[in-house]
Every structure is written in C-alpha cells, then in structure tokens.
C-alpha cells in the first residue's frame, strides 16, 4: 500500500548556502535529540558546523540493515528526533530506527549522491551487504537540510555516481510509460514523467560543469541545480508517479548485482550507470546508448562489466543476479511482463559486445 501512495518528500526541505548554521533553531521544538552517523560523515560535519554539538552520537555499521537499525534503537532508548548525518545508507538506517522508536527524523546529507535524504523509500540490505528488500517508511522525514556550501565536501566520485543514479530516473520511467495506454497515464504519472524529463535536461546541460565546479571548490548555480536535482527532483519522480516512477530495469539489475561480491566496493550510482545501458539494450535502444556515450566518457562512467570489477561473463556465474532481477516483485517486469533471465543475459552480452 505504501508503495502506491503519492508521497512527494519530507515535511520541510531546506536548501541553500549556510542553511545548516540554523540547525539549533530547527531543533528548538525537540527535547531529546540523538544522532545516527558514520565516522567519515561525522568528521566532515564537525569540520563545517560552527556551533557546540553535545548530542549523543551513534555510529551505524555501514550495512543499512534492519538488524543494525534495531541495534541502534535499543542503544538510543529514548529520543523524540533523530538526526541522520551522512549518505544514503545512514539516511535509510535512520528511517527504520526512527519508525521503530516513534521519533521524528531530520536528515542532513553530507554528500550529493542520491535521493535517499528526500524520500520515504528504504533500500534495506542484509548484514552481509546483499540486497534484502525495498521498503517504505510510514512517515517521511520531518526535515531535510541541504547546505550547498557544506556539500562542496562531496567526494567527486560520489557526486558523479549520484549524477548517474539520477539520470536513471528518466530512462527507467520512459521505458515504462512508452507502453502505457494514454488513459492510464494519470495526472500524477504525467507530472512525475515531466520531472524525470527535466532532470535529464538539467544533467545533460549542467552536470559536467558542476563536476568541474566541485573539483575547484566553487559554489555555483550549476552545482546547486545538480544538487537539488539529485536529492529532491529525483525523489519527486517516484513521489508523484509512485511505482511507475521509482525504478525499473536498471535498478532491478543493480540489486541483482549485489550477489557478486566483487561489485560491493563499486558505488551504487556507478553500477546503475552500467545497468542503464543494459536496460537500453534490452529495449533495443542502441541509438540512445550511442547518444549517451560522450556524456559517459566525459564523466568516466562504467560502460563494461570490467568497470564493475566483474571479469566473468557467463550464464552460470550470473544466475543469481538474473534470478533476482526478473523476480515478479522486482521492477524489471514493469518494462516487460514476459521478462526472463535469458533475455536479460542477452542484453548484458550485447552491451559487452559494443
């Protein structure tokens, strides 16, 4: 049910230069504050944040798992608001913990990499980092604070991965809506798709410049636009279009790739970048792949399995990947209800042959 409800984003989305300095004011309405973060994320936050910060701090274990979220809830015991300071896995862990504690959630992204700080979607893994499920928090975040000056600390490779992950919003939704009857395209589905098209236009126009600006440490309109596109606009696509605008082929295959341990060190968005090409090959859109090639080359995005540290390309080795990607409860079926592991593997082979 939660997967099919219109849920555009957090209660409050605050974006701009220096907005993190107003955090004490935002916390005035709360009595007990607890922080969930990671070691590197908290170090970056403390370097930037100018005010005293004496709230209890709890480190997550890097897994974004239900098990770790419950461990954190047991340790925290009582809080009326959780501060999630970090990347997507920190945010998703804190969503689970906040729900189990009945606490509000404020998300402070420490890097520009995905829409996790904005959406109620939870990507849950098992403790061994294989995919568990896509879940949905019953409540969105109370607040998401996107300080564009602070986010210039984003590592360039994470920023580029975020660009790729966000680019998938258009191609994944386009593959779904192209086969929908016009009468099935509700007003909200159409709004979500318009958001997806705007995202693609912004990324193609501004992303390469935004990477250059980030490398130079310059806060520019291009960097700010791409930041909000990755964090907020990407979340609006699925927020309005629900199941038709969240994920389809590329992310289903990405999740399947979690069964190949050699891919675990590859950033989420980089794996998605490769999977966009596989999805395009699956739908026979090879001309679109060639249109994207200069963009991929400029950002050094993965175009082959070897870029994901995968050296074997045989059907038996990919069996668990393919089995997961075509599951009925996964999202590749939104493109092709008759999908089979063999069809997906042929698309992988086609990309490898380019």
Q: Rounded mean pLDDT of 174-178?
A: 94
Binding residues: 88-92, 110-113, 119, 125, 165, 251, 268
Q: Which residues are annotated as a binding site for glycerol?
A: 165, 251, 268
Q: How far, in Å, are 44, 74, 239, 327 from residue 47 at the CA level? A: 5, 29, 33, 44
As a whole number, mean pLDDT of residues 153-177 equals 96
6 has pLDDT over 90: no
Encode pLDDT of 65-111 as tens digits: 999 999 999 999 999 999 999 999 999 999 999 999 999 999 999 99
Beta-carbon neighbour count of residue 39 at 10 Å? 11
CA–centroid distance for 214 within its chain: 20
Which domains are delineated in the chain?
Answer: 12-152 (3.40.50.1970), 156-353 (1.20.1090.10)
Q: What is the pLDDT of residues 298-351, one digit of tens each?
A: 999 999 999 999 999 999 999 999 999 999 988 999 999 999 999 999 999 999
How many Å is the maximal CA-CA distance in the chain?
59
pLDDT value of position 195: 94
Answer for the pair 61, 38: CB distance below 8 angstroms, yes or no.
no
Three-state DSSP state, 146:
strand
- Strand 121-125 and strand 131-136: the pairing is antiparallel
Number of CB atoms found within 10 A of residue 264's CB: 13
DSSP of 159-215, one letter per residue? Answer: HHHHHHHHHHHHHHHHHHHTTS-GGG--HHHHHHHHHHHHHHHHHHHHHHHHHHHHH
Average pLDDT value for the chain = 95
Predicted confidence (pLDDT) at residue 135 exceeds the cutoff of 70: yes
Angle, CA of 193, 194 and 200, to the nearest 5°: 90
The Cβ of residue 25 has, within 10 Å, a number of other Cβ atoms equal to 8
Beta strand extents in the chain (DSSP E only): 12-16, 33-37, 57-59, 81-86, 104-109, 121-125, 131-136, 143-147
Coil, strand or helix: which one is 313?
coil
CA distance 51 to 293: 45
User: Does pLDDT of 139 surpass 80?
Assistant: yes
Considering only CA atoms, which of 233, 249, 264, 231 is closest in space to residue 175? 249
Q: Which residue has the tokens 């930041």?
A: 227
Q: Give the model's pLDDT for residue 2.
A: 57
Q: 65 near 126, Cβ under 8 Å?
A: yes
Tell me the mean pLDDT in the region 45-60: 96
Does the structure show a pLDDT above 90 at 256? yes
Altogether, the residues listed in the chain come to a count of 354
Give 238-255 pLDDT, tens digit per residue.
888 888 888 899 999 999
51-56 contact pairs (CB < 8 A, 24+): 51/21, 51/23, 51/24, 55/83
Is the pLDDT assigned to residue 129 strictly greater than 90? no
Please report which confidence band the pLDDT of residue 7 belongs to, taking 50, 70 and 90 as the band edges: confident
**What is the torsion angle, in degrees rounded to the nearest 10, for the CA atoms of residue 24, residue 93, residue 249 and residue 210?**
30
User: Using one digit for the tens of pLDDT, what is the confidence trace for 179-199?
Assistant: 999 999 999 999 999 999 999
Indicate yes or no: pTM above 0.85: yes
CA 280 vs CA 162, 274, 289: distances in Å: 19, 10, 7
Per-residue pLDDT at 18 exceeds 80: yes
What is residue 120's DSSP assignment? Answer: S
Q: How confident is the model at residue 211 (pLDDT cuts 50, 70, 90)?
A: very high
Mind giving me the DSSP string for 57-70?
Answer: EEE--SS--HHHHH
Look at residue 3 and tell me whether its pLDDT is greater than 60: no
Residues tagged in the binding site annotation for NAD(+): 88-92, 110-113, 119, 125
Averaged pLDDT for residues 216-227? 98
CB 325 within 8 A of CB 344: yes
**Percentage of the chain exceeding pLDDT 70:** 99
């Amino acid at each position: 049910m939660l997967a099919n409800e219109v849920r555009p984003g957090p209660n409050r989305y605050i974006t701009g230069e220096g907005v993190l300095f107003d955090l004490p004011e935002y916390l005035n309405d709360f009595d007990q504050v607890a922080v969930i973060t990671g070691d590197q994320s908290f170090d970056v936050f403390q370097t930037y944040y100018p005010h005293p910060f004496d709230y209890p701090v709890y480190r997550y274990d890097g897994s974004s798992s239900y098990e770790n979220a419950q461990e954190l809830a047991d340790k925290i015991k009582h809080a009326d608001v959780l501060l999630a300071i970090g990347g997507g896995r920190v945010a998703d862990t804190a969503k689970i913990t906040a729900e189990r504690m009945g606490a509000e959630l404020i998300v402070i992204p420490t890097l520009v990499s995905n829409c996790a700080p904005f959406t109620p979607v939870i990507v849950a893994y098992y403790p061994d980092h294989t995919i568990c499920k896509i879940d949905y928090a019953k409540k969105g975040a109370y607040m998401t604070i996107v300080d564009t000056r602070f986010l210039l600390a984003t590592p360039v490779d994470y920023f580029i991965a975020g660009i790729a992950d966000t680019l998938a919003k258009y191609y994944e939704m386009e593959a779904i809506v192209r086969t929908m009857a016009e009468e099935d395209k509700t007003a909200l589905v159409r709004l979500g798709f318009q958001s997806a098209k705007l995202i693609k236009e912004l990324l193609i126009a501004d992303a390469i410049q935004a990477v250059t600006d980030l490398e130079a440490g310059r806060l520019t309109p291009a960097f700010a636009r791409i930041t909000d596109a990755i964090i907020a606009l990407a979340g609006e696509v699925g927020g309005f279009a629900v199941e038709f605008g969240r994920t389809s082929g590329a992310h289903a295959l990405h999740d399947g790739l979690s069964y190949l341990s050699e891919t675990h060190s590859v950033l989420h968005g980089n794996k998605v970048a490769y999977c966009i090409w596989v999805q395009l090959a699956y739908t026979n859109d090879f001309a679109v792949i060639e249109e994207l090639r200069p963009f991929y080359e400029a950002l050094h995005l993965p175009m082959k399995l070897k870029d994901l540290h995968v050296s074997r390309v045989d059907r038996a080795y990919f069996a668990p990947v393919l089995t997961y990607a075509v599951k009925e409860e996964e999202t590749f079926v939104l493109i092709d209800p008759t999908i089979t592991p063999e069809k997906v593997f042929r698309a992988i082979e086609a990309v490898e042959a380019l």
